[in-house]
Amino acid sequence: MLLPHGTIIAVVDGERFELHRNTGNEAAPELAPMQAPKLDEHNKNAGAHHFSSSANPARHQLEEDSHAAAVVLWLDQQASRGEIEHLVIIAAPPTLGEMRRRYDKQLEAVLVHELDKELVGRTGPEILKALQTK
């Protein structure tokens, strides 16, 4: 897969969000880590139940969905401002599914590839290898 210079790679799971930028060129990509923003994850889905037990799986799922929604909102805002021209999203399968439901037109316009894989915490070369083998 060719990654244009400046492509942003968002690596996401239900709790974490990492960003990388291709500082190389299309033929020889090189990923440099970027600082991920602090996200507002307090916007829970309307009508969702709030549970007091942290061991409750429904609450955990609500938190993961809120995280995915916050990531998409941030990415969409960046795409709308022209801060992101090319985007690759790599996310754990359940997280990617939740994110896809929330994509806006601006985000879809810059999205060049998705990968449903858990790669949070991996190095740039490991991420590039996963993108090349998909």
Tokens of 59: 């609450």
User: What fold, for 8-31+56-133?
Assistant: Nucleotidyltransferase; domain 5 (3.30.420)
The reported pTM is 0.85
For 19, residues 6+ apart whose C-beta sits below 8 A from its C-beta are 8, 9, 10, 11, 33, 34, 35, 36
Calpha distance 59→10 (Å, rounded): 25
Within a 10 A sphere around the Cβ of 42, how many other Cβ atoms? 7
Both structure tokens of 114: 């998705």
Q: What is the DSSP string of 52-91?
A: S-TT-HHHHHHHHHHHHHHHHHHHHHHHHTTS-SSEEEEE
11 touches 29 (CB < 8 A): no
| pLDDT of the chain, 134 residues: tens digit per residue | 889 999 999 999 989 999 999 999 998 999 999 998 988 766 544 334 444 445 555 666 778 889 999 999 999 999 999 999 999 999 999 999 999 999 999 999 999 999 999 999 999 999 999 999 86
The identity of residue 132, as a single letter, is: Q
Cβ–Cβ contacts within 10 Å for residue 48, how many? 13
The whole-angstrom distance between residue 5's C-alpha and the CA centroid of its chain comes to 19
